[in-house]
Amino acid sequence: MKQKIITMLELQDDMNSKVNADWRNAGNEWYRAIWIESAEMLEHFGWKWWKKQVPEVMQVKLEVVDIVHFALSIRLEQGQSLQNMAAEIAAEFDSPESTDDIRTSIELLAKQTLIDQGAHFSIIAGVMQHLDMPFDELFEIYVGKNVLNMFRQDNGYKEGTYQKVWDGREDNECLADIMKRLDSNSVSFKNDIYDELTNAYPAPEAA
């Protein structure tokens, strides 16, 4: 797990640097992104008692991964060595914290994030338990989402020209389909994801 976390930290640094080479000094409010993503996660799982809702489990997992991106960024800003950061994060993943219900566990994550603006991997791990989501699955999806984020940047995300909806579906949903088709153990896994995204991305004139 520790080595995979180091890989995730390296990928996150690469992604943040692509957006802004001086990202560590940019004053980004990572905590705000975490609680907003927590609300989106709750929407995908379902909470409305007045209508029938079926949990969109894969979308919930993708929101977990989004939150991990921002949580890793918080830790990277603290400037410790990757080895020390990875060891601390691994220990937190091994000590999950949750409530009896996924909805209130998600709210716990949002609450603690708003209280201290920190990264709470133990609560993230608690949410993952509700989803029967092992760390290896988190790692696999993280790599996929990292590639999607790189793809977004390469196709005008920062400039506002990127198309997030592809043939009526969000790119996250398209990524989930792509991940099902690919072999995560392949040495070309990252490149395969990028190639599939390129093939699926709608041409500008078709938007």
The CATH number linked to 161 is 1.10.4010.10
Q: Is 191 exposed, middle or buried (0-12, 13-18, 19+ CB in 10 A)?
A: exposed
Nearest to 138 by CA among 65, 75, 199, 189: 65
Query: Distance (Å, rounded) from C-alpha 146 to C-alpha 149?
Result: 5
Domain count, the chain: 1
Q: What is the DSSP string of 130-157?
A: HTT--HHHHHHHHHHHHHHHHHHHHTTT
Give the residue numbers spanning the domain of 129.
2-206
Give pLDDT, residue 205.
55
Give pLDDT, residue 56.
94
> DSSP secondary-structure letter at 27?
-
* pLDDT string in tens for the chain (207-residue length): 998 899 899 989 998 998 899 999 999 999 999 999 999 999 999 999 999 999 999 889 989 999 999 999 999 999 889 999 999 999 999 999 999 999 999 999 999 999 999 999 999 999 999 999 999 999 989 988 899 988 999 999 988 899 999 989 999 889 989 988 888 777 788 889 999 999 999 876 544
Give pLDDT, residue 176.
86
